[in-house]
Amino acid sequence: MHGSRLRVAYQGVPGAYSEAAAGKAYPNCEAIPCDQFEVAFQAVELWIADRAVLPVENSLGGSIHRNYDLLLRHRLHIVGEVQMPVHHCLLALPGVRKEYLTRVMSHPQALAQCELTLTRLGLNVTREAFDDTAGAAEHVANNGLRDTAAIASARAAELYGLQVLADGIQDDSSNVTRFVMLAREPIIPRTDRPFKTSIVFAHDREGTSVLFKVLSAFAFRDISLTKIESRPHRHRPIRLVDDANVGTAKHFEYMFYVDFEASMADTRAQNALAEIQEFTSFLRVLGSYPMDMTPWGAPSSSASSSTNPPPPPPSSSAPPSS
């Protein structure tokens, strides 16, 4: 990058958890806020940003399905991952007391992650969904909403001049979000440290036998899977099966996303994908990248306090083909 700082796109506004994840993944980067997930993808594709850091799953809320769909639609490569503990705070304008609140706004997942605690606090408030947590805090501050609180990070409170009415209001302290780092070019996979590989595949045969064969290809080689996610097939969502005797049946068609603990430099992974390719109609490697080995309890509330080294520099060489 000719000595300049990496430009890293994220979805949200300053103070968002994604901004903190970008700082953990790439310390001292120039974080570029984007109003939508797809804009972050486009920022990298159009060379406005060098990387994107986007959430793919949360330990309480599950998968962020939109980003799985965008991974398939765009041609960016996963070059790393980072896990961030999520620490929610109840924020309001200075001088506002909890009993004056009639509304709480935040991202839908944040609202769901704090539902029990809000009830325990005795708050009789309506919940209102917002695009992101820090955006909700910014909205409360900019519009002087004295009857409304936001659920966001302590950093968002500092940025937008809000007070923290309650700290750590997530229902479960083990609230972790996994982010992936995206780049225009893949990195060269290695075997000198733990790697993870993400793939997506589809099949055009009936029944569950193909999925069983895919899982068997990994199990036979003692490769651990860390995630399986199914999404409707975008180009062929419905399959019709006609039977002259009983009529027509409609079945959903799916794409399957799989993460497994092996590098594409490992012959076990190469052989597994070669076998899988024989009975799938579509197979794509989304990335082979270093695993985030940082303990979930490690401090990471500040974007500048990273102990997780960035992944190896990008290379124009693609991972070895299966």
Given the DSSP bridges, would you call strands 126-129 and 103-106 parallel, antiparallel or unpaired? parallel
3-state percent breakdown (helix, strand, coil) of the chain, nearest 5: 25, 30, 45
Burial of 49-76, coded b for 16+ CB within 10 Å and e otherwise, reads bbbbbbbbbbbbbebbeebbbbbbebeb
Quote the Cα angle for 259-265-270, to 5°: 65
**Residue 288: beta bridge partners?**
197
Residue pair 24/308 in contact (Cβ under 8 Å)? The answer is: yes
Compute CA 14 distance to the chain's CA centroid, rounded to the nearest angstrom. Answer: 18
Residue pair 152/134 in contact (Cβ under 8 Å)? The answer is: yes
For residue 25, what are its two tokens? 């993944």
Nearest to 186 by CA among 90, 60, 321: 321
Active-site residue set: 177, 179
Distance CA 128, CA 108 (A): 8
Nearest to 36 by CA among 59, 57, 64: 64
Unique residue bearing structure tokens 């990195």 = 187
